[in-house]
Chain A
Amino acid sequence: MQGLRKRRRIQLVLLAAALLTVSVALIGYGFRDGIAYFRLPSDVIDDAPAPEEIFRLGGLVAVGSIRSTPEAIRFAVTDGDHSIEVIFKGILPDLFAEQQGVIANGSYNGVEFVAIEVLAKHDETYMPKEVADALKERGLFQPGGN
């Protein structure tokens, strides 16, 4: 009995170790294309990411920049210093508006940001956390005021 229980325990530890190895390998693999960095327009202008990299562009929707063309919607995302033109073929989220915080998922081809997905929040008094933090650093956004 005692010996058997000990053997089971060793087998269990081995199995758990194998599982841990597998999950670490999977996590490493998953991180290769599962992670999207957050960037402000100034970060993109300073150091443009590779055209195939999918990242998140965040900032405020620039005043007067929303235009819809016959085939897509264009708007500019700004952080106060720089702004980047975004092109999006899709349905904008319900909370999308001028001077609201926005996060766009997509890639930058050197000229404009091609968005796959545009996110805004459920709650109009709330700013995406990344955007709020980044803009606070630049003094563009005071918490409480909107």
Chain B
Amino acid sequence: MVTELGHFAAILAFLVALCQCVVPSVGYYFGWDRWMRFAMPASALQFALTLFAFLALCHAFINSDFSLSLVAGNSHSAKPLIYRVAGVWGNHEGSMLLWVLVLTLFGMFVACFGRPLPLRLKSLVLAVQSAISTAFFAFILLTSNPFNRLLPPPADGAGLEPLLQDPGLAVHPPLLYLGYVGLSVSFSFAVAALISGRADAAWARWVRPWTLTSWIFLTLGIAIGSWWAYYELGWGGWWFWDPVENASFMPWLLSTALLHSAMVAEKRECLKSWVILLAILAFSLSLSGTFLTRSGIITSVHSFASDPGRGLFILSILGLFSGGSLLLYGFRHSTLVPSGAFALVSRESALILNNILLIGAAFVVFLGTFWPLIAELLFQRIMSVGPQFFNSTFTPFMIGLVLVLPVGAVLPWKRASLSEGLRRMRMALVTAVIAGLAIYWLQPEAQFLAPIGLALAIWLVSGAFLDIWHRIRPRRVSIRAAFARLSGLPGADWGKALAHAGLGISIAGISAVTGWEIEDIRIARPGDSFQLGSYSVRFEQSFEREGPNYLALGAEFELTQGGKTLTTLLPERRHYPAAGRQTTEAAIDMGFWRDIYLVVGEIHPGGGYTVKSYIKPLANWIWLGALVMAAGGLISLSDRRLRIGAGRRARQSTPVRD
């Protein structure tokens, strides 16, 4: 019964979305206020209906209603409750319902918090937003309906893919979706600006917090996905340049660029047409990410059961929205007249350079991701593009970006002096170069890139510190007075410094793991000991144990260093009878300075096991840095000057400082 109501609610939501797209547009065209106002209650209703449909699906999963073919195919009554709930979005149909749920949620936020927005702009934004949800509701109802019945219902379900029974999965897709779909708001704002031909500073002030919000979620979602791959897949890697990973990374790169250029549009009223183009491209990449994931057109480690029909449907949605908006851009962007001018050396120029480097990075990732497809069409050769390609093309852009970042971040608007910027960063430069050289001489094995990476990381972190320092102590202010100014520093300044330092922390982790990882692979029998770097690993015994819905065959290892026992590690291979699947569970001894990572494989004749072990220096810094970046974004978002609704007040008072 609840399921039928849920299905009905989804169909109603589709109809509401359709009306919300048409009615305000007609109202906009003829200038009828009441028709335009229809968008606000409609978006709340649309969200409520979608939420109901989603909860109905959750209800079916929690109560193991196997008469729903989705539940029967993806759940099992012996599964712990949290994974029965997470199972709702651990499959294609459910995750698409989550996608539109987030989409309608953001639409409702625009309607609720957008009171200061002019009615004409707001109704257009909501109409565009609703056009997107109409398309996705049609997609769900026509090609991937989660409410399809299965008759007769089976006695028990097939179980959720064992790899996905993990807390990481419970949060990774929702976070990523919040990020992906959040970009739809920037997109709707961009399209509305093109239609109305107006994009002023107030408009840019609106785009920025939305972009920042989705950027925070994207950062967290990608970091958690990478973390999950690291500890759950047992491959010992944290990033594989897999098409589906790239699909989430490209929107991240573009939203980072958008975030920075929206600042120029807001503060200086130039680059507006560029910001609009970026917003369109960022959301188009989100859509093409969905297409890549859902069509299975490129071989990926994330092979969701895929279906060409669905792929084609998403491709048409992508074509409609990206193609349509780009066409609109081509016709209308010249109506947006820039007003600010700036010198060659200025913060504006620095932010343009940031954008150019980020776009270049996104471009090479895009080409590498889609090259197998292009090559097959053009040359009929099947090939794959490996991590080496991405490492050698992507890294130079990042190095360039990091080199200019600390100086660019302290340049003033309009007109700046490069020597003054460099003078401010003098200490950071000296620290980074000295530290880099010291690391080069002291490192355990001769490596060229790792010390450079660490020097860049130090350059970023100390640059962020100096940035704050110069904000609170501009000239000859006493130290006491400087600290007194610390609390008065706006959130946006803290956010900027934290986010830049977070990037440095991640770069430190990536460089150290890539350069100095120690890997050992061998066949060991119980009782064997082997050396791993400065540690000694002893294979104590093998064991068997029974989990809630799996059987595990594990191995017990004792980790010692200098005769002192550190810990016992228990890697396992788990067998899930319901799914007929097996998974590898790595055992990780986590530390601030290094992770010890152990995986156990097959039994060989003679009782030996394949044992793979790694020392991963600074591994946790990769995700720690991402967390710091996201925290920086959050603090920046809490800045009153940026807060939603603050725009009206700021316009009346004197122009904001900075």
* A residues adjacent to B (C-beta < 8 A): 1, 4-5, 8, 11-12, 15-16, 19, 22-23, 26-27, 29-31, 33-38, 54, 56, 68-71, 73, 89-92, 94-95, 103, 105, 119, 121-126, 128-130, 133-134
Contact = CB atoms under 8 A, between A and B. Distances in A.
Given A29-B393, A122-B163, A122-B301, A94 B581 contact: yes
Top 10 nearest A-B pairs (CB, nearest first) are A34-B389, A91-B601, A38-B382, A30-B389, A30-B393, A34-B388, A26-B393, A68-B604, A30-B392, A126-B303
Given A11-B344, A30-B392, A92-B601, A128 B384 contact: no
Contacts of B344: 11
B386 interface: yes
A125 B393 contact: no
8 contacts: A8-B342, A22-B396, A35-B384, A90-B610, A103-B299, A125-B305, A126-B296, A128-B299
A49 B606 CA distance: 36
A40 B410 CA distance: 56
Nearest to B361: A23
A105 B299 CA distance: 14
B294 to A, nearest CB: 13
B520 to A, nearest CB: 12
Contacts of B384: 35-36, 38, 56
Nearest to B573: A94
A14 B610 CA distance: 55
Contacts of A8: 341-342
Contacts of A68: 602-605
Contact of A70 (B364, B368, B608): B608
B364 A23 contact: yes
A27 B367 contact: yes
A123 B162 CA distance: 10
Contacts of B605: 68-70
B612 A35 contact: no
Given A27-B367, A68-B604, A122 B303 contact: yes
Interface in B341-376: 341-342, 344, 352-353, 356-357, 359-360, 363-364, 367-368, 371
Contact of B602 (A27, A33, A70, A92): A92
A16 B353 CA distance: 10
Contact of B392 (A15, A26, A123, A125): A26
Contacts of A71: 523
B299 A129 contact: yes
Given A38-B382, A95-B581, A30 B299 contact: no
B364 A30 contact: yes
Contacts of B601: 90-92
A90 B520 CA distance: 10
Contacts of B532: none
B41 interface: no
Contact of B523 (A16, A27, A70): A70
Nearest to A91: B601
A32 to B, nearest CB: 9
Contact of B382 (A12, A37, A94): A37
Report which residue of B304, B388, B580 has the largest number of chain A beta carbons within 10 angstroms of its beta carbon: B388
A81 B353 CA distance: 55
Contacts of A30: 364, 368, 388-390, 392-393
B648 to A, nearest CB: 29
A121 B303 contact: yes
Contacts of B599: 91
B583 interface: yes
B383 interface: yes
Given A35-B389, A130-B382, A123 B604 contact: no
Given A30-B389, A94-B583, A12 B610 contact: no
A31 B523 contact: no
B308 to A, nearest CB: 10
A137 B260 CA distance: 50
Contact of B360 (A5, A23, A56, A95): A23
B396 A35 contact: no
A59 B425 CA distance: 56
Contact of A29 (B353, B392, B603): B392
B584 to A, nearest CB: 6
Report which residue of A70, A95, A122, A133 has the largest number of chain B beta carbons within 10 angstroms of its beta carbon: A122
B582 interface: yes
Contacts of B600: 91
Contacts of A54: 386
Interface string B609-632: 010100000000000000000000
Report which residue of A30, A123, A124, A133 has the largest number of chain B beta carbons within 10 angstroms of its beta carbon: A30
Contacts of B363: 23
B640 interface: no
Contacts of B382: 37-38, 130, 133-134
Contacts of A94: 163, 581-584
A81 B583 CA distance: 32
B254 to A, nearest CB: 15
Nearest to A4: B341
Report which residue of A15, A26, A90, A105 has the largest number of chain B beta carbons within 10 angstroms of its beta carbon: A26
A5 B338 contact: yes
Contacts of B387: 34
Nearest to A68: B604
A126 B305 contact: yes
